[in-house]
Amino acid sequence: MRWVLPWAWDRAMRRLRQVKPGRHVLVALCDHFEPLHGGASLSRGRKRVLAWREEYPKLAEAFRDDDGRPPRHTFFFPGEEYHPDLVEPLAELCEMGLGEVEVHLHHDGDTRETLRRSLELTLSHLDRHSLLPRTKKGPRWAFIHGNWALANGRPDGRHCGVDDELHLLWELGCYADFTFPSAPDVCQPPHANGIFYPAGDIRKRRPYDRIDPVYAGKGHQNRVLFITGPLALAKREERLAFRIESSAITAKDPATRARLRTFLDCHVHVLGRPEWVFVKLHTHGAKEQEAASLLGEPQRAFHEELAALRARGHFVHYVTAREMFNIAMAAMEGRTGWPGDYRDHVVPKPPRALVAQRSSRDRARATRVRH
């Protein structure tokens, strides 16, 4: 809970610098997508994935953002669960312009060498489905650590084992980490609601406990960027009590109007570019109960709340994790204006998504009204 005092101080200061109407709200839903969760069989895992392949396009077709884009889902797929039948349906959603696939990994008791092998194998698997963007530096990808234990983040060393994990991730092409927030888990860093670079030595354990916040016009660093989701102490809707709001979307705790207000109040942004608000949410969407909520009425109601936000004079942009990173990089370079123009600013689309590029661009031209 070391994050609470920094959060309270930042909240007090934020009231002195309220964001004016007309902000751009960037919404990314990052799914720790685990088809074999709970020891499920491959057959059950297939059914879980196919439920998303069949139902997500139906949900997405009813909504568009201010770029003319449908909701975008980022599937952080666990490398240890790879099977082509579990990934290919997600690749088809990517091809349809409805999301992208990134890297998730649960591991324990690793060394740098064993972790490297696991990551390289995961990247090879995803590359078979044309899901990895490439630049001159090679494959580029985003990461969420299983069990929150990034860079040996637990005091007992469980669920990782590699102090210099962030250095290895950067070597292999990882451009951003989307693991946090994890409160009330012990792995939560002692700060909240930021976009930052770790200020500690990335060859050592938990280098993200000290941070270097990013600023508009300051440029970027050659290390993994951290984009965190909203984290706050929020009033419970049903009684006079408080809860830890850690941006987790679940069947028991779906996104609501009240939670959306909290997400926006956390005001995650690149310093100096307050009008671009980053709302990075996370979920575990493969399980049947969670999928029913995320593909059904609870999530539909959240998209309707986002539409209502647009009606109140703000702009909503559905983004993937990669697109959110690109927009953050544009802000750090001092770019201004319409953030949707920077979705592919640094890291290009994965090859599988290029199929949907032309139709998406045509749709945006037809529907977007610039203000």
> Which pLDDT does position 10 carry in this prediction?
73
Question: For residue 182, what is the DSSP state?
Answer: -
* pLDDT for 16: 45
pLDDT (mean) for 115-128: 98
Bridge-based pairing state of the strands 225-227 and 276-283 = unpaired
Mean pLDDT estimate for the chain: 92
What percentage of the chain reaches a pLDDT higher than 90? 86
For the segment 17-57, what is each residue's pLDDT rounded down to a tens digit?
Answer: 555 667 999 999 999 999 999 999 999 999 999 999 999 99
Query: Residue 215's beta-bridge partner residues?
Result: 271
Distance CA 243, CA 342 (A): 35
Structure-block tokens of residue 24: 């751009």
Q: Give this prediction's pTM.
A: 0.93
| Whether the bond into 71 is cis, omega within 30 of 0 | no
Residue (of 60, 250, 317) closest to 259 by Cα position:
250
* Whole-angstrom distance, CA of residue 360 vs CA of residue 354: 10
CA 299 to chain centre: 17
Choose among 342, 319, 364, 371: nearest CA to 98: 319
Domains assigned to the chain = 4-15+25-364 (3.20.110)
Q: What is the pLDDT of residue 240?
A: 59
Is 362 a residue whose pLDDT tops 70?
Answer: no
Nearest by Cα to 343 from 109, 149, 137, 67 = 67
Summarised one tens digit per residue, pLDDT across range 92-108 is 999 999 999 999 999 99
Between strands 138-139 and 24-32, the pairing is unpaired
